[in-house]
A and B are shown apart, each in its own frame.
Chain A
């Protein structure tokens, strides 16, 4: 396996999104539990974006732009296209169920997040090329501009490539 490219890591925290077309930059979200990391990449050119979605549907107009899937995913698509991306593909990571308490509102937010993200991508006509979702473990996702790679790591695990030009 190639050595990890030591690029500039840009943190995408809960409710945030970021885009990049700068070789060497890596968009990172650490510790996705029930949240979903949505990576959008251009199919031909090194243009990428990452959103850190926390909940399925917005109840009000305020809050960080990527907090809710129904606002964050279309906004990410818009911003990646603004950088010149034409043919978008998606990789989704996260949506785990860390805890099993039932309760009215606690019921599997992870699965609801994943469903909401898939619905938005479907509506926008963006195909999902790879996914590491569900289960009970937290995950960290990295979106590398160089090689347009998306890698994922579970706690105490190794970095695994989910998407990359090399495996196209």
Chain B
């Protein structure tokens, strides 16, 4: 079903790697703690499988969603599991589960999403920018399915670029997903000379 070559997926994975590296640096600067980045994955999946890419769809998480506009359409989604969210809020000095807590997570999402998107833009020469994020606490499956549905009219495939940021010395990690439109993927690959 996938129509991407291994070489194309490798290139997309490398983009995700550099993007999440920059996001990790931004998070580290905010927290004053070292941040590790897991090896990212780039997978072309049928829509139903893409919903499960970030784990059990019934798990509760706080999602920060940033729509990306410009030369390509895409969505960045950051997922914070509840325990990790609480640790992160504590590190930032705000009360988890409060309006301040959600606002802080939204701001983290905004900064990480922007640094990710900016590095994509630099590497590819694409003019892209994120819109302000929305923060929702819900089932992971409901969050991802609703994001995917927006662009699912003419495609049955989603490209999921997935990486994890881990705050060292803390039981704290978050999942970072980039979900581009299919035209967006072609555009990305074109800029890399791999279309």
Residues of A with Cβ closer than 8 Å to B?
13-16, 30-35, 54-55, 59-60, 62-64, 67, 96, 98-101, 103, 105-106, 109-110, 136-140, 155-156
In the bound complex, residues from chain B placing their C-beta under 8 Å from that of A137 are 138, 142
Is B145 a contact partner of A14 (Cβ separation < 8 A)? yes
Is B67 a contact partner of A109 (Cβ separation < 8 A)? no
The answer to whether B166 has its CB under 8 Å from any CB of chain A is: no
Is A31 a contact partner of B57 (Cβ separation < 8 A)? yes
Main secondary structure of the interface of A (DSSP, over half): loop
Is B60 a contact partner of A156 (Cβ separation < 8 A)? yes
Residues of B with Cβ closer than 8 Å to A?
46-48, 51-52, 57-58, 60, 65, 67, 131, 134, 136-154, 156
| Known interface pairs A14-B47, A30-B58; A138-B149 also in contact (CB < 8 Å) | no
Is A64 a contact partner of B48 (Cβ separation < 8 A)? yes
Is B140 a contact partner of A15 (Cβ separation < 8 A)? no
Is B58 a contact partner of A54 (Cβ separation < 8 A)? no
- How distant is the Cα of A142 from the Cα of B51 in the complex, in angstroms? 19
Task: List 12 interface pairs A-B (beta carbons < 8 Å), by A numbering.
Answer: A14-B148, A31-B57, A33-B138, A33-B139, A67-B47, A99-B65, A101-B131, A105-B153, A106-B150, A109-B150, A155-B138, A155-B139
B68 to nearest A CB, angstroms? 11
Q: Residue among B48, B52, B143, B144 with the most chain A CB within 10 A?
A: B48
- How distant is the Cα of A138 from the Cα of B144 in the complex, in angstroms? 11
Is A67 a contact partner of B146 (Cβ separation < 8 A)? no
Is B149 a contact partner of A54 (Cβ separation < 8 A)? yes
- How distant is the Cα of A30 from the Cα of B51 in the complex, in angstroms? 10
Q: Which residue of B lies closest to A109 (CB)?
A: B149
In the bound complex, residues from chain A placing their C-beta under 8 Å from that of B151 are 105
B70 to nearest A CB, angstroms? 13
A145 to nearest B CB, angstroms? 21
A157 to nearest B CB, angstroms? 11
Known: A32-B145, A105-B151, A137-B138. 17 other contacts (CB 8 A): A14-B48, A14-B145, A31-B145, A33-B138, A33-B139, A35-B149, A54-B47, A55-B149, A55-B153, A59-B153, A67-B47, A103-B67, A106-B67, A140-B58, A140-B139, A155-B137, A155-B138
Is A63 a contact partner of B57 (Cβ separation < 8 A)? no
Is B142 a contact partner of A96 (Cβ separation < 8 A)? yes
Is B139 a contact partner of A31 (Cβ separation < 8 A)? yes
Is A155 a contact partner of B146 (Cβ separation < 8 A)? no
- How distant is the Cα of A59 from the Cα of B145 in the complex, in angstroms? 19
In the bound complex, residues from chain A placing their C-beta under 8 Å from that of B134 are 99-101
- How distant is the Cα of A60 from the Cα of B153 in the complex, in angstroms? 9
In the bound complex, residues from chain A placing their C-beta under 8 Å from that of B145 are 14, 31-35, 54
- How distant is the Cα of A52 from the Cα of B59 in the complex, in angstroms? 19
Is B139 a contact partner of A13 (Cβ separation < 8 A)? no
- How distant is the Cα of A138 from the Cα of B65 in the complex, in angstroms? 15
Is B142 a contact partner of A31 (Cβ separation < 8 A)? yes
In the bound complex, residues from chain B placing their C-beta under 8 Å from that of A32 are 142, 145
Choose one: B47, B58, B150; the contact of A15 (CB below 8 Å): B47
- How distant is the Cα of A99 from the Cα of B75 in the complex, in angstroms? 12
Choose one: A54, A62, A98, A106; the contact of B142 (CB below 8 Å): A98
| Known interface pairs A64-B156, A105-B151; A33-B142 also in contact (CB < 8 Å) | yes
A93 to nearest B CB, angstroms? 12
